[in-house]
Chain A
Amino acid sequence: MPASITPSLTVRVLLFASYADALGAESVSLTLPSPATLATVVQHLRALPGGEQLPPKPLCARNLAHAAADEPVAAGDEIAVLPPLAGG
């Protein structure tokens, strides 16, 4: 098998509340190996400075709906990693 360039995709990840404070940003752009899942997103986020403050399995959303960690991620998706919800 020839050595090939690993396909990658770039996604923008929205951060809120305590997670935005931890990373010092309300969104970050991540370049991920493709294919990727939300778990891949979390893994890359936690490798950033401040990212170690995020839990290993935070709540995630994809395209404005809650999504499980094993959901695949595609270019152009709106991804968000959500701190524990505190509405109501």
Chain B
Amino acid sequence: MDFVTAERIELAPLIAAVQAPERGGVASFLGLVRNHHGGREVLRLEYSAYAPMAEAECARIVAEAEGRWQVAVALRHRVGSLAVGDVAVAAAAASAHREEAFAACRYVIEEVKRRVPIWKRESYADGTEVWVDPTATLQHA
């Protein structure tokens, strides 16, 4: 499976991929490009990835979720140039019951943010651009 894609992400195919007659609950998450960051107006952003490792890390995260809960998981992360409102990341988890679906979906998205080697460069309305560093909380102070 290609977890990292330059194509526009649609949620419906991800849900279809995890749906099954025995799975009565599907939880999904969409991460969208926000129009503000640190008080500045964001116009666009560019996601870049260390693609082979991002694929490997996504595969490990999905396998972990599917090992820990009785779920089927689908995951996509976009790379390239995105506009405000575009889907940057999508996850769907299907299970017999909602608790496992919610838990697995939450796990997957949190681990993606924590572990997958992807970076974003934001372009602001004032003409500046910066590589976003989530660890630098005082970046825009």
Binding site for B on A (CB under 8 A): 14, 16-18, 21, 61, 64-66, 80, 82-88
The number of chain B residues touching the other chain, given as a range, is 20 to 34
Dominant secondary structure of chain B at its interface with chain A: mixed
Given A86-B118, A88-B113, CB of A18 within 8 Å of CB of B131: yes
Chain B residues, Cβ within 8 Å of A66? 57, 115
List the 3 shortest-distance A-B pairs measured between CB atoms, nearest first. Answer: A87-B118, A88-B113, A17-B119
Binding site for A on B (CB under 8 A): 31, 47-50, 52-54, 56-57, 77, 88-89, 109, 112-121, 131-136
Q: How far is the CB of B119 from chain A (nearest CB, A)?
A: 4
Partner of B47, one of A61, A64, A87: A87
Instruction: Specify which of B53, B54, B109 lies most central, judged by the most chain A CB atoms within 10 Å of its CB.
Output: B53
Q: How far is the CB of A78 from chain B (nearest CB, A)?
A: 8
Instruction: List 26 A-B residue pairs with CB atoms under 8 Å apart, sorted by A's residue number.
Output: A16-B48, A16-B50, A17-B121, A18-B119, A18-B131, A18-B133, A64-B53, A64-B56, A64-B57, A83-B133, A84-B133, A84-B136, A85-B114, A85-B117, A85-B119, A86-B132, A87-B47, A87-B49, A87-B88, A87-B113, A87-B116, A87-B119, A87-B120, A88-B88, A88-B89, A88-B116
